[in-house]
């Protein structure tokens, strides 16, 4: 096993350059629109945070390796090198200053997928030994223990036991042939146990068979965040193997942004074949169950609330209408944030930023964008559908002395669920 080196890093960047990347670099018109679309630029005002600049090392490798002019420039000593200095300088831009939210890709007038290129350039930075400590250890835990936060099966089992003791609801483990296999994110196991209870109640009411896999309960994929496809593949394979062994029809991605991107979009490409099952986000499943009349809700939240669209779920996942249909069913005073849906602003903690302690300061600076959006609305509750957004938002709100509770949409729906036998009082 060779140690990380600059040479290796450059080679990995080179290996990531394909026809789309070449055309992106050739077609960039330097308009700067991506800067205005990036919260790490708008909130810091630092031109280095311009998204296209974050992939400058990749552009240099492309120019030097794949263009005639670049080769000539290198020959006469005019080419800008990609060396240790460059890796050190860009490391914080590539990891700390980007949440892979994809807003830059969306506004680019020539259609360059800048955030996709930042995901690619991370392959080179991690191979060069320039990935942040926090992400390296999270990835190590994800690969070796099975979860980036180090959650092991006994912890999940303990949570299941508590749930069963408290509510009498059953949580099937490794049930062969179940319709749904439910994935969890570590944060839901450690910080937000309400999620599992909500799922158990909703599935029971809908009369659907479901299960949790003892070998693949964790949905988050640190391999995607750190940018190492080989490791992302290992993590995806765990889920694919478990789901196909259990013969489930659908795998449900939890309220977690990158987990959804990893398992829904990146997964089949990583393993090189289509799945034998479907993947849906929990919001899609809830919406389907509601439309099919399998679950009903009663009562309305009356508090003024708004919805934070997680980037991976709305912008990259296309799930925009489902959460709104669900919200309007259980909340009477739901208002939209400015720029909702696919143009939403990131919470500031996606793409591995929240797992990277070094980035704490810039993360809080970037959070000012969300803060100003919330200040405009003066809501009493903030609803979202991603555990990572939720934690980032909670931290940001607390740091700014803002007293707004953050709630997961699935729990909110479960709160208002009409359950057989137990006629609930309508919640406040």
For other proteins, which is the closer residue by CB, 2 or 428?
2
For other proteins, which is the closer residue by CB, 148 or 340?
148
Min CB(156)–other proteins separation in Å: 22
For other proteins, which is the closer residue by CB, 143 or 246?
143
Min CB(357)–other proteins separation in Å: 16
The mark string for 3-22 relative to other proteins (x by CB under 8 A, - otherwise) is: xx---x--xx-xx-xx----
Work out whether 398 is an interface residue with other proteins (CB under 8 A): no
How far does CA 350 lie from the centroid of its chain?
A: 6
Chosen residue from 82, 171, 206, 231 binding other proteins by CB under 8 A: 231
Residues between 91 and 130 with contacts to other proteins, criterion CB under 8 A: 126-127, 129
Residue 265 is given by DSSP the state I
Size of the site for other proteins (CB under 8 A): 28
Distances in whole angstroms, Cα of residue 245 to Cα of each of 77, 173, 238: 57, 13, 11
For other proteins, which is the closer residue by CB, 90 or 334?
90
Question: Which of these segments, 62-70, 190-198, 246-254, 404-412, binds other proteins (CB under 8 A)?
Answer: 62-70
Q: Where are the alpha helices (DSSP H) in 76-152?
A: 84-91, 103-107, 114-127, 133-144
Min CB(230)–other proteins separation in Å: 4
Chosen residue from 46, 48, 65, 298 binding other proteins by CB under 8 A: 65
Min CB(68)–other proteins separation in Å: 7
Orientation of helix 6-16 relative to helix 56-66, angle to 10°: 80
For other proteins, which is the closer residue by CB, 46 or 84?
84
Q: Is 400 helix (H, G, I), strand (E, B) or coil?
A: coil
CA–CA gap between residue 402 and residue 122 (Å, rounded) = 34
CA–CA gap between residue 412 and residue 326 (Å, rounded) = 9
CA–CA gap between residue 381 and residue 428 (Å, rounded) = 13
Dihedral angle of Cα 399, 95, 40, 253, to the nearest 10 degrees = -70
Work out whether 270 is an interface residue with other proteins (CB under 8 A): no
Question: Which of these segments, 103-111, 139-147, 312-320, 406-414, binds other proteins (CB under 8 A)?
Answer: 139-147
Contact indicator for 250, 285 with CB cutoff of 8 Å: yes
Work out whether 82 is an interface residue with other proteins (CB under 8 A): no
Work out whether 68 is an interface residue with other proteins (CB under 8 A): yes
Min CB(94)–other proteins separation in Å: 15
CA–CA gap between residue 396 and residue 133 (Å, rounded) = 22
Q: Decide: residue 55, CB within 10 A, 0-12 exposed, 13-18 middle, 19+ buried.
A: buried
Min CB(148)–other proteins separation in Å: 12
Task: Supply φ then ψ for residue 423, to 5 degrees.
Answer: -75, 110
Residue 316 CB contacts under 8 Å (≥ 6 apart), including other chains: 102, 261, 265
Chosen residue from 30, 144, 421, 425 binding other proteins by CB under 8 A: 144
Count of Cβ atoms closer than 10 Å to residue 331 Cβ: 22
Min CB(126)–other proteins separation in Å: 6
* Rg of the chain (C-alpha set): 22
The binding site for other proteins (CB under 8 A) comprises: 1-4, 8, 11-12, 14-15, 17-18, 65-66, 68, 126-127, 129, 131, 136, 139-140, 143-144, 226, 228-231
């Amino acid at each position: 096993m060779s140690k990380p080196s600059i040479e290796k890093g450059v080679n990995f960047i080179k290996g990531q350059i394909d026809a789309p990347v070449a055309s992106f670099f050739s077609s960039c018109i330097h308009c700067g629109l991506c800067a205005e679309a990036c919260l790490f630029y708008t909130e810091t005002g630092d031109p280095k945070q311009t998204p296209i600049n974050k992939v400058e090392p990749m552009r240099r490798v492309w120019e030097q390796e794949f263009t005639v002019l670049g080769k000539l420039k290198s020959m006469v000593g005019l080419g800008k090198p990609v060396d240790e200095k460059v890796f050190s300088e860009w490391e914080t831009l590539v990891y700390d200053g980007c949440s892979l939210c994809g807003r830059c890709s969306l506004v680019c007038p020539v259609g360059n997928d800048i955030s996709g290129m930042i995901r690619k350039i991370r392959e080179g930075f991690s191979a060069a030994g320039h990935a942040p400590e926090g992400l390296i250890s999270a990835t190590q835990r994800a690969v070796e223990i099975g979860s980036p936060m180090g959650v092991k099966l006994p912890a999940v089992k303990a949570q299941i036991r508590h749930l069963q003791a408290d509510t009498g609801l059953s949580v099937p483990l490794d049930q062969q042939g179940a319709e749904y296999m439910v994935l969890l994110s570590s944060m839901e196991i450690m910080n937000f146990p309400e999620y599992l209870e909500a799922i158990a109640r909703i599935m029971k009411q809908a009369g659907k068979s479901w299960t949790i896999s003892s070998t693949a309960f964790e949905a988050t994929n640190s391999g995607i965040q750190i940018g190492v496809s080989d490791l992302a593949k290992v993590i995806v394979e765990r889920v694919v193997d478990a789901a196909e062994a259990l013969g489930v029809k659908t795998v449900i991605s939890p309220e977690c942004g990158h987990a959804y991107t990893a398992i829904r979009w990146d997964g089949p490409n990583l393993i090189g074949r289509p799945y034998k099952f479907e993947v849906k986000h929990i919001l899609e499943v809830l919406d389907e169950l509601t439309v099919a009349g399998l679950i009903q809700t009663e009562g309305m939240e009356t508090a003024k609330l708004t919805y934070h669209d997680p980037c991976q779920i709305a912008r990259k996942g296309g799930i925009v209408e489902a959460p709104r249909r669900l919200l309007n069913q259980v909340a009477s005073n739901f208002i939209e944030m400015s720029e909702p849906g696919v143009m939403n602003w990131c919470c500031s903690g996606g793409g591995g930023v929240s797992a990277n302690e070094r980035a704490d300061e810039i993360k809080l600076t970037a959070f000012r964008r969300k803060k100003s959006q919330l200040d405009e609305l003066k809501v009493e509750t903030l609803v979202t559908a991603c555990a990572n957004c939720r934690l980032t938002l909670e931290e940001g709100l607390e740091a700014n002395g803002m007293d707004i509770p953050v709630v997961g949409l699935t729990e909110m729906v479960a709160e208002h669920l009409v359950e057989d036998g137990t006629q609930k009082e309508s919640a406040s």
